[in-house]
Structure 1
Amino acid sequence: MIERIKFERFTAFEKLEVPFSPGINILIGENGTGKTHILKAAYAACDITKTKGGFAEKINNVFLPSGKLIGRLVKRTAGSAKGSVEITRKIDGGKDISLRLSLSNHTTKPEKARVSGSTKAWQENPLETAYIPVKDMMANAPGFRSLYDEREIHFEEVYVDIIRKAFLPIARGPTEQPRKQLLKKLQEAMEGKVVAKNEEFFLSSKQGELEFTLLAEGYRKLGLLWMLIQNGTLLNGSVLFWDEPETNLNPKLMKAIVGILIELHRLGVQIVLSTHDYVILKEFDLQTKETDKIQFHSLYRSKTTGEIEIASTGKYLEISPNAIDDTFGSFVEREIERSMKGLGR
């Protein structure tokens, strides 16, 4: 499980440390406060434990700076500057290991960056992980993997990664009862199950097979979760990163998705997601129990320095600052103000 991630002069951050709960982690904050950057950096470190690739190269492919110049990931400043990102995780036996990437704004290629820390132990302890990006890719799956491998196309690697993970065959061995129950809940929510044929995904239901290109995106999100659970990507000890799960999702489906995520956490999956949505936040608040491990991380810019800072809490009502709640609260105030003006007419 991921314990924490530290940034120093990396992308939008001057200096930031994010402590992760082993359960559910929810990142909130206004646009430009680095939520997606946290997800991507942590995912890159986790993913290389399975692919055995290089950390610097993965970071570069996930962030995709202009010209693939990795030095552009150093926080912009006048003159020369150095930056770093360090991820710490706990492995079997309770030992903490760390992986650190150091680079300067003059570093041009990933192989010129310095990777240090527990590099050997990091690779020897694989961690199953999945990153669900904002843009849906399941409807665009046919041919995308081969196109990405054979051509220089400008796509962050998280998009091809999630397609590859969705296509993974079912893991060996029997399907545990809790996983069967989760799959059943998802099938009930989307009224069918997912099948893959010739690199296309279909929702198979009583009405027949409906291709993902004709399926509402909310159902495609449920279908993707179904595939990742069914093929064993999301099992005890794995990590799920999800960037804005509410995108193009009907609020009625949010209850089901949050419920599934909470159940995954209870099965031992660590979850890190970002959101701008009040309904998502409130569903987690209403559906979690005291025994659930949940942490809310509020990212904001300091009024004195302008730099990004973080405030973390395990209780919804203690989130501060809370840009989402503040915005919805302003609606109430504006509604009252409008009503009061009407009384004077």
Structure 2
Amino acid sequence: MTDFPLAHLDARKFAALDDTDIALSPQLNVVLGDNGAGKSQLMKLLYSTTFVLQDGRVTGETSIREYETRLAKKLVGVFRPNSLGRLVTRTQGRSRAEVSVRYGNANDALEFSFASNSKTAVKITSRPSMPTVSSQDETDRPVFLPPHELLSIYPGFVSLYDNYKVEFDETWRDTASLLGKKPLRGPREKNASKAIKPLEEVLRGSIFDAGDTFYLQRWGLGNLEAHLLADGERKLAEIVRLVTTGTLLQSGYLFWDEPEASLNPATQRVVAKTIGHLAKTGTQVFIATHSLFLLRELVLELEGKDTEVRYIGLRADKPAQSVSSLDDLDFLAALEAEAAQEERYFSSPVDAL
């Protein structure tokens, strides 16, 4: 189980998150809203703060000044603004973004702010105390999965990112680095094998690496390079790899942006089961989705089954919502549009086509 689960976010004038005061589930958080409402920005903000705090546990850093430098650098690397102040919600005149992130089991929240004219300066006024650990493998590592799969670009990507200016945000580099970790051996390997079994059944094989290239050992058909797999298969293979290395095994944080991308409905059902399994066994999961199908599968998989789910609704013109039941969300334009289309199609299929 994650030692310090994200518990609460209060963000004011941070990018699209102008009025966001929400409780978070230690198990599964489903972020919903229209395009431009701030779904990815919310997850990237939580990813950035968690990355910096967990990294500090390894380095043993205690200086507030060093944390301010690292946090500012991470926010710029993840969001890729021309300057840090560009992340302040646009208003006339100068303004200031203010963020408070609270972690369960931690005594204080991480509280920081920065001005709209800031280049790289963040001001931290409060920071949680977390015990140091001896290595990265012993921390709860955050993972950010973008809609595009990373498995096929993994060979050489970290070196490319570190040595050249490339137009990818820093989450891609971080995740590629985690994909390169070696698989578990020993008692925890059995737990990992159990967790990935449903995904391997969909893939009809197991994932392994040979040097700097990933392969799928297709049962009865030999080995296939990751580049020869479908996009959806590579996304599933990413999760398999992150579980087998222990990054997402009964611990850690998963931020998954549009997990339904490139996946057919049958595979989305497997993804919903995988998300449910990760959430129930100790990984704190955040997903942002536009898929009504995936959302319904998650409801069927988890609600009423001893899993705490928070549905986070974002709208550009309203305060953010965090509720424990989908029925309590005020408005979900994309999902309601899909439901309306379904009703039109079955009531008058000729006209709908």
TM-score (norm. length: structure 1): 0.89
Q: Distance in 2 between matches of 1:336 and 1:130?
A: 40
Equivalent residue, structure 2, for 1:141 = 154
Question: Aligned to 1:152, which of 156, 162, 165?
Answer: 165
Contact 1:251–1:279, Cα closer than 8 Å, also in 2: yes
Contact 1:98–1:122, Cα closer than 8 Å, also in 2: no
**Deviation of 1:223 (Å):** 0.6
Q: Distance in 2 between matches of 1:182 and 1:332?
A: 34
Runs of 5+ consecutive residues of structure 2 not aligned to the other structure: 57-66, 134-138
Question: Aligned to 1:309, which of 319, 336, 353?
Answer: 319
**Deviation of 1:337 (Å):** 6.7
- Mark the CA change 1:116 to 1:124 in structure 2 (over 3 Å): closer, same or farther: farther
**Deviation of 1:181 (Å):** 1.2
2:116 maps to 1:98: no
The one-letter code sitting in structure 2 at the alignment partner of 1:103 is F
Q: Distance in 2 between matches of 1:172 and 1:2?
A: 29
Equivalent residue, structure 2, for 1:124 = 132
Question: Aligned to 1:75, which of 80, 89, 101?
Answer: 89
- Mark the CA change 1:223 to 1:335 in structure 2 (over 3 Å): closer, same or farther: closer
Contact 2:150–2:238, Cα closer than 8 Å, also in 1: no
Q: Distance in 1 between matches of 2:260 and 2:54?
A: 28
Equivalent residue, structure 2, for 1:283 = 297
Aligned residue for 1:175, secondary structure, equals: helix
Q: Distance in 1 between matches of 2:303 and 2:116?
A: 45
Question: Aligned to 2:282, which of 268, 272, 287?
Answer: 268
**Deviation of 1:217 (Å):** 1.2
Q: Distance in 1 between matches of 2:75 and 2:277?
A: 30
How far does the alpha carbon of each residue in 1:95-145 deviate from its partner, in whole angstroms, 9 at most, with x for none?
443212311111112xx22123125x2473743221111122211111111
How far does the alpha carbon of each residue in 1:23-46 deviate from its partner, in whole angstroms, 9 at most, with x for none?
111011110110001100000111
Question: Aligned to 1:321, which of 321, 326, 331?
Answer: 331
Aligned residue for 1:16, secondary structure, equals: strand
Runs of 5+ consecutive residues of structure 1 not aligned to the other structure: none
Contact 1:195–1:204, Cα closer than 8 Å, also in 2: yes
Equivalent residue, structure 2, for 1:24 = 28
Contact 1:44–1:62, Cα closer than 8 Å, also in 2: yes
Q: Distance in 2 between matches of 1:339 and 1:273?
A: 33
**Deviation of 1:341 (Å):** 7.9
Q: Distance in 1 between matches of 2:77 and 2:327?
A: 38
Question: Aligned to 2:315, which of 292, 300, 312?
Answer: 300
**Deviation of 1:240 (Å):** 0.7
Q: Distance in 2 between matches of 1:16 and 1:141?
A: 35
Question: Aligned to 2:8, which of 4, 22, 44?
Answer: 4
Q: Distance in 1 between matches of 2:130 and 2:111?
A: 11
The one-letter code sitting in structure 1 at the alignment partner of 2:41 is H
The one-letter code sitting in structure 1 at the alignment partner of 2:114 is L
Contact 2:13–2:97, Cα closer than 8 Å, also in 1: yes
Aligned residue for 1:229, secondary structure, equals: helix
Figure out how many residues of one structure are paired with residues of the other and give that number. Answer: 329
- Mark the CA change 1:192 to 1:97 in structure 2 (over 3 Å): closer, same or farther: farther
Aligned residue for 1:124, secondary structure, equals: coil
Q: Distance in 2 between matches of 1:219 and 1:40?
A: 24
Contact 2:34–2:332, Cα closer than 8 Å, also in 1: no
Q: Distance in 2 between matches of 1:190 and 1:81?
A: 50
For the aligned residue pairs, the C-alpha RMSD in angstroms reads 2.2
Q: Distance in 1 between matches of 2:349 and 2:254?
A: 45
Equivalent residue, structure 2, for 1:62 = 78
**Deviation of 1:198 (Å):** 2.8
**Deviation of 1:74 (Å):** 0.8
Contact 2:34–2:333, Cα closer than 8 Å, also in 1: yes
Q: Percent identity of the aligned residues?
A: 26
Q: Distance in 2 between matches of 1:215 and 1:71?
A: 41
TM-score (norm. length: structure 2): 0.87
Contact 1:28–1:35, Cα closer than 8 Å, also in 2: yes
Q: Distance in 1 between matches of 2:192 and 2:330?
A: 35
**Deviation of 1:334 (Å):** 3.1
Q: Distance in 1 between matches of 2:209 and 2:125?
A: 40
